[in-house]
Structure 1
């Protein structure tokens, strides 16, 4: 039984980055396959203009441009994207240093081809590029996939949850609702670190049954219970803290706004909302690790990594007063907000 208040002795960021950033290279390859930088160099453009010219849609195109800005290949000046000197020297037709032929042999990589389709349709590709697979959200309703994916996220969650729990100020709070909880490891870690707290792991079937078993195996069942339901339809009452940990990044803006509205309806005035995730900075120029990770999310889900400014705007609109952003570990962090 692992102590959920413990921390590793070494830094695993470089290891996690291989997984998080796996699809970043394919996004670059996809863009080079349509000679994106040559066109943009001659035609500085807004995001809307880029979408119009290439037939791209907004969510994936925004993810792409955030990746390029994080690499300093483009700069956003007053809403218009311009190529930088390094992009003009190495990624455009003409200069002797042009790398486009070097990438050309990779244009037919399945994930690179997927990115062009996602950019044009805004529809996620199959999980891990499997065309025959369910949409990720539907796949989570299947017992076998749900069990494997929950195990994968629990493995990561053991590290991330204790780092989050140690940085939270939960003075005067009593119960955390872990929304879209997966294994429930975040509720377990928070109640282990803040022993005056109890927790509720809230998820749909069959994930709820998986969570219940793991919570019991961790010896946390006396402090963390399980609730079953659809988070878009309503949330259990009686908790004064709501946690969205690595949940909102799976959804598009309309769904994120819906989830924040449902949370607002379930919390009392003064209730605390915590968003724990990988965040893009306010001006959408990085960090690079997160911009690369966002490509994976854009490919496989309906979402992406949102910026702190995007979250602040959506929180305010939903009736919350946004707080500051705080780093935790391996390019993750959290924002808090108070229910008005």
Structure 2
């Protein structure tokens, strides 16, 4: 099927995206409500995130942060000066002793595999298996050619919408060459060059993805403007001739130390005066939503080493790396695009 990366669909597929992206959120609520009786304890002991982790034996703050962001986005809890409190609606629906408690209603779901996975992820800080794959977590599975092909194809199909929606929000008129870091099939690099006729690009991703990207770029008709290079973004140098860098749906797969490292790698390689583009799903600055993004973050926390980061978290990390002058705007399907400049 021919793909036109300069146009968007006539209808809004947001409901179909949200069913998939938020499919694990209910299991995280179930784990906290039924297995941990979390809301009953928090109602009696308003606490900050470290205290919550100590009480329940959570090994890392990342999964707990995702959990609390989801609960805040649902209105189950609120945060005041770093302390979490159960809201009135949370007390009525989710605490033991309330005549309206839904804990018995959720109890029949307590043995669902993903619900049980969340108990392990919270306890260890390590991701669970990806979907029905028993071989390991997503990061390890991507080293396998067959899985890399399956996953990259899955992500490519959403990029046919998300890529053009991102491209149409950006003014790239003063930039000439892009490197799409962890660029997968190349759909996002192709979307940007399709909407900026002066732009050329490099897709930079691991060896298991290179052949897939090269074929897809050719299918889309951009092989003359989009190069594909195999490399490890943590170990291998990025191309040094690019004044535009892109991380599209990449940083959300990693914990904060790795995100910090990748931003530093980008800053060093980006030409002076260049721009970094972050295309992702963003939590708002006070971590109260948006709810669909908080639900998507629950899936990422389950299956990867990452989460959806807040705009405030990204600004702090970008500033630390040396970037400045941030912009952020919505694109499509609960995603957005954030930019930062290098002096």
Q: Which bin holds the TM-score, normalised by the shorter protein?
A: over 0.9
The whole-number CA distance in structure 2 between the counterparts of 1:160 and 1:96 is 45
2:284 aligned with 1:281? yes
Give the equivalent residue in structure 1 for 2:186.
Answer: 184
Distance apart, 1:298 and its partner CA: 0.3
CA contact (8 A) 1:316 1:322 kept: no
Structure 2 residue aligned with 1:145: 147
Indicate the SS of the match to 2:203: strand
TM-score (norm 2): 0.98
Aligned to 2:71: 68
Matches within 5 A, 1:143-182: 143-182=145-184
**Could you say which residue in structure 1 is the equivalent of 2:203?**
201
- In the alignment, what sits opposite 2:22? 21
Contact 1:183 1:210 in 2 (8 A): yes
Spell out, residue by residue over 1:59-83, the C-alpha distance to the aligned partner (whole angstroms, 9 max, x if none): 0000000000000110000000000
Report the CA distance between 1:123 and its aligned residue.
Answer: 0.4
Measured in 1, the distance between the counterparts of 2:337 and 2:132 equals 30
SS of the residue 2:168 aligns to: helix
Unaligned segments of structure 1, at least 5 residues: none
Whole-angstrom CA distance in 1 between matches of 2:37 and 2:132: 23
Tell me, yes or no, if the aligned pair for 2:240 and 2:271 is still in contact at 8 Å.
no
Aligned equivalent of 1:79 = 82
TM-superposed deviation, 1:324: 2.0
2:97 maps to: 94
Select the residue among 252, 255, 258 that pairs with 2:255: 252
CA RMSD of aligned residues (A): 0.8
Instruction: Kindly indicate whether residue 226 of structure 2 is the aligned counterpart of residue 230 of structure 1.
Output: no
Aligned length, in residue pairs:
339
Quickly say closer, same or farther: Cα 1:270–1:78, change in 2 above 3 A. same
Post-superposition Cα deviations, 1:6-58, rounded to whole Å, max 9, x if no partner, equal: 11000000001010000000000000121000000000000011000001120
Structure 1 residue 138 displacement after superposition: 1.4
Structure 2 gaps, min length 5:
none
The answer to whether the 8 Å contact 1:126/1:133 transfers is yes
Q: CA deviation at 1:129?
A: 5.3
Residues 259-314 of structure 1 deviation map (CA, whole Å, 9 limit, x = unaligned): 00000110122110000000000000000000000000000000000000000000
Query: What is the rounded CA distance, in whole Å, between the counterparts of 2:121 and 2:310 in structure 1?
Result: 21
